[in-house]
Amino acid sequence: MNAMTDLVSSSPSGAASASPRPSALVEVRELRKRFGDVEVLRGVDLEIGKSEVVCIIGPSGSGKSTLLRCLAALETYDEGEVLIEGQLLGYAQRNGQRVRASQREINRVRRNIGMVFQQFNLWPHLSALENVMEALLRVRRLPRDEARRRANAMLDTVGLSDKGDARPARLSGGQQQRVAIARALAMEPHIMLFDEPTSALDPELVGEVLQVMKQLARDGMTMAVVTHEMGFAAQVADKVVFIDQGRIAVQGKPHAVFHDAQHPRLRQFLQNYLDRNAFWSRGADGEPA
């Protein structure tokens, strides 16, 4: 895939690293998920190490978002296991049989997971600061002064220290998504899950959200990111996972996945991405945009 050279020019080398392999914070084993007669996940195996950034790519409908939702216990899964810091998520063993865990048990296991969605899901009647404070008050039951202090710190982390009093309607889409990231970070998660966090944004606003995510990666946050931003995946990911038809078809270091792609479906996916972006860079009339 020589056409991918520019994309991966700043990505980490595919050479073996001398650093030790990080301990697994998330383990997925033979995960299967059905919606009616349709099997959306078909035996997925995946590990995410501490401080590792894993970018999950693939065509629409391949199961990427469903996988992420299973990691957050927002979807049940039919077979296999999801382990978060060694603890089984969504199920419990009782009398030698696996049964659905209580909501209290599920919340305990996923306590250290933060998730950012495509849509911002902010409370429209609350300010940015109040949106970040809400879960700290209601879920963590922090004193109001402590919740306010932590919320202000998180808004500062995402570059919005001057927008605390603004309601969502007064913020751009990129600013709203950064508030959503601050809200998740305020809960002090051990892992952050991002489900196409820039897909609802205008193109000129994508960069400000990706910049925050890049800084989180530099700070050592463990992240699983479903994304169509191939440049971000090439530059930031420790591991890129390509899902096709509910299975992991390819996974590896960005340079190997993007530059040395051998799997035919991955090659086709990347070529479609390049063609689409070449079209927009030329403009619809074929001239440079």
pLDDT tens, 140-163?
999 999 999 999 999 999 999 999
Alpha-carbon gap, residue 85 to 254, rounded angstroms = 25
**How much is the average pLDDT of 185-202?**
95
pLDDT tens sequence across 109-129? 999 999 999 999 999 999 999
Highest mean pLDDT among 11-25, 121-135, 274-288: 121-135
Alpha-carbon gap, residue 239 to 250, rounded angstroms = 10
Instruction: Please tell me the number of Cα atoms within 13 Å of 215 on its side-chain side.
Output: 13
Predicted pLDDT of residue 279:
53
Q: Which of 25-29, 244-248, 275-279 has the lowest mean pLDDT?
A: 275-279
Q: Distance of CA 99 to CAs 40, 75, 92, 95, 207, Å?
A: 22, 15, 5, 10, 43
Angle at 56 between CA 54 and CA 59, to 5 degrees: 170
In this model, does residue 2 exceed pLDDT 90? no
Strand, helix or coil for residue 243: strand
The backbone region for 69, taken as left when phi is positive above 0, alpha when psi lies in -120 to 50, beta otherwise, is alpha
**How much is the average pLDDT of 256-261?**
87
Against a cut of 0.85, is the pTM above it? yes
DSSP 287: S
> Domain boundaries in the chain?
2-8+23-282
Class of domain 2-8+23-282: alpha beta
